[in-house]
């Protein structure tokens, strides 16, 4: 009986060891499988991220292209405000526009110079603005430059901006008003606010003054000062030429304005001294 119990204990011990081995193997397999799955998922996520970045870049480029195309398509447009909706047909609307421009801008347009005319928004109680597209940019510029002639009238014209640009310009107007109250120059150009600060020194004197240098190498004081006129420049040049011809010694101006030689042993210097004494 004792031997049977020992055998059973031995079998139980072996079973426990096998169970522990199986559990450890299962854990190792689970870890390995999890690691492999994570690697695969990381690779797939990396590929998806690259595709997403590429799509995002393409979308951004497409938005830029659409933005540019929309800006170009509106470049030859003007928007007229306050013009009554009395037109009964497109031809009548075209005639009204030509008559309006001729009356206030003194520009006579032909039918070939107007590409399109259309009202903006839904018809209601208020008079809708009207957009005019010209066939050439030059025609639009000629008219838009004279927009101040409508200052004391019920009409005014503006450029044709996309909706998001109009919203941005509305925000910039508040900032422009603040800058103008500070005394600065401020204006809006398309979707940018241009500011020029009003400096305290408004004299506008941009004259440069030459720096003065110590007269270490200029004992006569001829080369000192800020500016030298042409006459002094000519005299200085002549004096330098005369002094350079006396190659035997270095000359400097004396007390009475005569030239004396620093080298007393020079025969030419002695001859000059004799002439001066006479």
Looking up tokens 């009475």, which residue turns up? 256
Asked whether the CA dihedral 165, 166, 171, 175 is positive or negative, the reply is positive
Alpha carbon of residue 167 to chain centroid: 22
pTM: 0.50
**Which pLDDT tens digits describe the chain residue by residue (278 residues)?**
777 777 777 787 888 888 888 888 888 888 888 888 888 888 888 999 899 999 999 999 998 888 888 888 888 999 999 999 988 899 999 999 999 999 999 999 988 999 999 998 888 878 899 999 999 999 999 999 999 999 889 999 988 887 878 788 888 888 888 888 888 888 887 778 888 887 654 444 444 434 444 444 444 444 444 444 444 544 444 544 444 444 444 444 444 444 444 444 455 545 545 554 44
CB neighbourhood size of 248 (10 A): 13
Q: Name 195's bridge partners.
A: 186
């Amino acid at each position: 009986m004792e031997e049977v119990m020992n055998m059973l204990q031995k079998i139980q011990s072996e079973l426990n060891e096998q169970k522990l081995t199986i559990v450890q193997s299962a854990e190792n397999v689970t870890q390995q499988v999890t690691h492999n799955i994570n690697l695969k998922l990381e690779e797939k996520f990396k590929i998806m991220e690259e595709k997403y970045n590429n799509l995002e870049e393409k979308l951004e480029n497409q938005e830029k292209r659409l933005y540019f195309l929309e800006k170009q398509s509106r470049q030859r447009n003007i928007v007229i405000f306050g013009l009554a909706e009395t037109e009964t047909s497109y031809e009548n609307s075209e005639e009204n526009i030509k008559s309006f421009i001729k009356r206030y801008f003194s520009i006579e347009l032909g039918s070939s110079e107007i590409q399109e005319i259309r009202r903006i928004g839904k018809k209601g109680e208020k008079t809708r603005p009207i957009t005019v597209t010209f066939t050439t940019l030059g025609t639009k510029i000629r008219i838009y430059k004279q927009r101040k002639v409508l200052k004391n009238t019920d009409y005014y014209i503006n450029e044709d901006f996309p909706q998001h640009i109009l919203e941005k310009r509305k925000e910039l107007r508040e900032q422009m008003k603040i800058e103008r109250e500070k005394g600065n120059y401020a204006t809006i150009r398309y979707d940018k606010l241009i500011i020029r600060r009003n400096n305290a020194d408004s004299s506008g004197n941009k004259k440069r003054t030459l720096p003065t240098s110590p007269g270490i190498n200029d004992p006569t004081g001829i080369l000192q000062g800020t500016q030298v006129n042409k006459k002094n420049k000519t005299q200085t040049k002549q004096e330098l030429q005369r002094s350079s011809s006396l190659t035997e010694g270095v000359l400097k101006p004396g007390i009475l304005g005569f030239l004396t030689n620093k080298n007393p042993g020079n025969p030419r210097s002695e001859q000059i001294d004799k002439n001066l004494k006479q």
